[in-house]
Amino acid sequence: MIERKFIEDHIKSLEIEEYLAKVLEKADYSHTDIQITPLSTRLVVHVGRPGIAIGRAGKNIEMITSMLSEKFGVKNPQLDIQSIESPDLDATYVAHQISSAIERYVKPNRITSIYLRNIMRAGAYGAEIQISGKISGGRGRTDKKQVGYIKKSGEFAVDNVDHGFSTAKMKPGVLGIKVMIMKALPECMLIEKKIKEYGLAEIKEVADKKAADKKAKEPKADVNADVKETEKDDVVKEVKKDEKKEDKKDKKKAVVKKEKETKTVAVAKSKKEIVRKEEKATFVVPTVKKETTKKEVKKEDVVDKKVAGKVESIKKEDTKIVAKEEKK
């Protein structure tokens, strides 16, 4: 008998939630918490838009309380309408928002990505959104998107995961929208995390101690080391300056030598040109031909040989002079 009573109470609570979901659909209905007392039954209704749920001068509240007492047999019902504290972490609210957006011809992939991002920003550990039906085309299919960590079976799925469902009425057919949000991790997983964090902290402490011991064992640096290094740097700078000055002097000497050599070569060339001009002047052949005898021919040959000997001697002296100047 007791078991039947529990089952009947549970069925009645489900019927009440279905009724409130239909009546407060425009107010973004989420869920109700039923608290039974000996004097009355308190119904805490969580809604996204409390103003629409209350109505003008509380007309909706009066209508709902009368229906609950007459139809469902609730003794002295008291409605307490409250707004949702964190709407992005409420699965039913998110499902209703997605369905209303799809009915306004917004692309499902875009909406699911936006709401998954908002859910994770609100502080959830994981979320999953599933849309099934004729999303695009003649055949039905299911699109599923998941972010983070989420349990789907066992006690953790019942205690730590919030489930929500809604429908979107479209021209090709009805779309079903399921939302799963994991608000908190189970205690055993939190303990494991704490143990890992504690172990990492201990390892860091040990490493820091070893580093401190190594530093203590190392010999202390001399105070005058920095002063000695600065003195060395100054000496090196002075040596570099002296080297630069010597390089400049060597360059100047090389330039002067090149200028002297070019001058001597130019003088030698000018002397050669003068000698050539003299030779041309001496060996000019007359254009008028004269009848010469055998004796005159012999005299001219002797004169030509003497002149040629003098020219060769002059050339040898000039070459000796040029060679001496090039050696200098």
CATH number at residue 149: 3.30.1140.32
Per-residue pLDDT of the chain (328 residues; tens, 9 = 90+): 678 888 888 888 888 888 888 888 888 888 888 888 888 888 888 888 888 888 888 888 888 888 888 888 888 888 888 888 888 999 999 999 999 999 998 999 999 999 999 999 998 989 999 999 998 888 889 999 999 888 888 888 888 899 999 999 998 899 999 999 998 887 777 666 666 676 677 777 778 877 887 777 765 544 455 555 666 677 667 767 777 777 777 777 777 777 777 777 677 777 667 767 766 655 444 444 444 455 555 555 666 666 667 667 777 776 777 677 666 5
Tell if the pTM clears 0.75, that is, is over it.
no
On whether both 175 and 95 belong to a single domain, the answer is yes
230 within a domain of the structure (yes/no):
no
Which of 169, 87, 93 lies closest to 123, judged by CA? Answer: 87
**Looking at 85, 120, 143, which one is the last position of a domain?**
85
On whether both 29 and 104 belong to a single domain, the answer is no
pLDDT of residue 119: 92
Sheet containing 141-148: order of strands? 141-148, 126-133, 174-182, 161-169
**Looking at 85, 112, 144, which one is the last position of a domain?**
85
β-strand pairing of 126-133 with 77-83: unpaired
The answer to whether the CB of 148 falls within 8 A of the CB of 158 is no
102 within a domain of the structure (yes/no):
yes
Q: What residue numbers bound the domain in which 81 lies?
A: 2-85
The count of domains in the chain is 3
On whether both 93 and 181 belong to a single domain, the answer is yes
The answer to whether the CB of 10 falls within 8 A of the CB of 67 is no
On whether both 106 and 159 belong to a single domain, the answer is yes
218 within a domain of the structure (yes/no):
no
On whether both 103 and 81 belong to a single domain, the answer is no
310 within a domain of the structure (yes/no):
yes
pLDDT of residue 154: 83
